[in-house]
């Protein structure tokens, strides 16, 4: 299933295919993984859910990177500041 994802201002957008997700996630988004670590709460103000996507070489135009550690980076829209994605090295 192809799905368009975008930030708040729609400057950063991408179409992703979610066919590879487990059937349980496709039937019920309530089974998505949640994170409530300090970093995720600081980024969103809330508990955060993530859908792991296969890396397809995202277009980084319009994005700003925040490096949390040697293995974890967060990317945000340079216009609206919305969290676009995270990149965990080695995962």
| Residue 25 confidence (pLDDT) | 56
Which pLDDT tens digit goes with each residue over 33-60? 667 677 777 777 766 666 666 656 667 7
> Taking all residues of the chain, what is their mean pLDDT, rounded to a whole number?
75
pLDDT the model gives residue 57: 61
Map out the domains of the chain as residue ranges.
2-88
Q: Which CATH class is domain 2-88?
A: mainly beta
77 within 8 A of 2, measured Cβ to Cβ: no
The confidence band for 30, taking pLDDT boundaries of 50, 70 and 90, is low
pLDDT in the model for residue 64: 92
Q: What is the pLDDT of residues 63-85, one digit of tens each?
A: 999 998 888 888 899 999 988 88
pTM of the predicted model over 0.75:
no
> With b meaning 16 or more CB within 10 Å and e meaning fewer, what string describes 49-71?
eeeeeeeeeeeeebbeeeeeeee
Instruction: Report the candidate in 70, 77, 21, 12 with the shortest Cα–Cα distance to residue 49.
Output: 21
């Amino acid at each position: 299933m192809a799905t368009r994802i975008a930030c708040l201002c729609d400057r950063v957008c991408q179409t992703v295919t979610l066919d590879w997700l487990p059937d349980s996630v496709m039937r019920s988004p309530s089974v998505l993984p949640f994170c409530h670590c300090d970093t995720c709460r600081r980024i969103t103000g809330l508990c955060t859910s993530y859908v792991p996507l296969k890396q397809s070489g995202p277009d980084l135009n319009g994005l700003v990177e925040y490096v949390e550690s040697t293995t974890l980076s967060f990317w945000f829209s340079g216009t609206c500041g919305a969290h676009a994605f995270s990149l965990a090295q080695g995962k």
